Amino acid sequence: MNDQSPRRSGGRAARRAARAAPLAAADRPIRAGMPGGRYRPLTDADVQKIHHAALEALETIGLADAPPSGVEILTKAGAVQGDDGRIRFSPALVEDSLALACKSFTLHGRDPRHDLELGGARVHYGTAGAAVNMVDVDGRNYRHSTVQDLHDAARIVQQLDNVHFLQRPMVCRDIEDNREMDLNSIYACCAGTTKHIGMSFSEPDFALSGLELLHMIAGGEDAWRARPFMSNTNCFVVPPLKFATEACQVMENCIRGGMPVLLLSAGMAGATAPSTVAGAITQAVAECLAGVVYVNAVKPGHPAIFGTWPFGLDLRTGAMCVGSGEQALLSSGCAQMHQFYGIPGGAAGGACDSKLPDMQAGWEQMCSNVMTGLAGLNMVYEAAGMHASLLGFCHESLILSDDLIGQAMRCVRGIEVDDETLALDQMREVCLGGPGHYLGTGQTMARMERDHVYPSLGNRMSPKEWDEMGKPDLIANAIAKKEAILSQPSPVAFEPSVDQDIRARFNIHLPR
């Protein structure tokens, strides 16, 4: 026995070291772009009813408040402006625009390792929300969000395997000038992560300045157009069924500048959208179909995400309820409509109404993250860190969401059934003269890293071991991980010469 102990110890240590080593991307149990789509809350007949109702809304109700440039673009494409000023769309025009629309495309990262392939039912999770506050978990209170907070969020996202993209999760309330806020938001995000970034612009001219900054970061306009690593999050409509005039002009500038766009319709069921799940989905689909016509009239085939984002409402109080079961159904039904049209789509999932990263936050975040993933939603926005019905963002919750999304992605992956996974050979080996258990068998060891997702911070200790280890606390561990990430310089910071040129051209508020 004494002779065997060192050998066993060495073998165990080697196995632990092997398990600790990062897996090749193809061997990971979960990864960006895994196909979902197994969950279908709508029947085929339901999908057709929603489609035809949306077409009827576009033909008979139309959308108001298009900017003059939009009126010209849309009427040249075949839409009709009525005496009431509303733009109406025939079913034939919508179908023609859908035929022109881009069916799949790449959302680039500055690092190609982070490229996201959109289309079909491939699923990606990321941030979003434009919160105006930060959650202080130590003090259990809220404070205004800053450009430093945004930069820190980008740096954290860079280190999280299961958060695939960064859409601006908060606004920089310490920068009063809107143009400077937009430009500093671009700088803060790009200086923190090389994953794909989503950003909005307050005014049309700000988009042109933003493109100039992006050209400098990319190394020139040609380099930017070859790999646009930022998309424009564009609330081009103000539900119900009105264009957002300035946002439409922003969108036009972004399309011409080679930037992918997220066509975002964010009605609130019971307030700015019908209170029923089906009605809210129908209105969002109609509004985004109008956006598809608009985008393809500006530039046929331009990359655009079908951004149906209907939100839930607590009809007792009028408060948003993004953590509800209804929200999960809204976004999952939208995912099914995206697949019906064959256009990459996005919706909200993973946000919560809870004010802190507590048990309520956990059930709310997991519910819609799992359901939207199973439904095959291409872009699950707001999937990490978002609290208080989009009013607060939390760095610690962002870190914890990496584990949460990992488990959601394992659900998306589903169950593989083949001769190897049915494991009859293992049963024979173990049961017929074998050890009577599967612990330590070759097959178990070979598949344990490829089949199973292990939490980074989630605790699976026994109560005895937990007590012996000093009763580790989830939030305290998240704080420690945040501090460890932010204590190091950003590994993706700009080259000094690039940074100097940017700061000479723009008023950058982040310290060097």
The pLDDT-based confidence of 367 (bands split at 50, 70, 90) is: very high
Task: Using the predicted structure, report yes or no on whether residue 454 has a pLDDT greater than 80.
Answer: yes
What CA–CA distance (Å, rounded) separates 137 from 481? 14
Give the pLDDT mean for 309-320. 92
- pLDDT of res. 24: 78
What CA–CA distance (Å, rounded) separates 345 from 307? 6
Give the pLDDT mean for 348-356. 97
Task: Using the predicted structure, report yes or no on whether residue 472 has a pLDDT greater than 90.
Answer: yes
Per-residue pLDDT tens over the stretch 250-295: 999 999 999 999 999 999 999 999 999 999 999 999 999 999 999 9
Task: Determine contact, residues 88/3, Cβ cutoff 8 Å.
Answer: no
CA separation (Å) from 408 to 39, 357, 443, 453? 13, 17, 25, 10
What CA–CA distance (Å, rounded) separates 261 from 167? 12
How far separated are the first and last CA of the chain, in Å rounded?
A: 60
Per-residue pLDDT tens over the stretch 62-80: 999 999 999 999 999 999 9
- pLDDT of res. 440: 85
Give the pLDDT mean for 437-463. 92
Per-residue pLDDT tens over the stretch 1-52: 344 444 444 555 655 555 556 677 777 899 999 999 999 999 999 999 999 9
- pLDDT of res. 17: 59
What predicted TM-score, i.e. pTM, was given to this entire model?
Answer: 0.94
Q: Which of 308, 364, 369 is nearest to 336 (CA)?
A: 308
Per-residue pLDDT tens over the stretch 241-254: 999 999 999 999 99
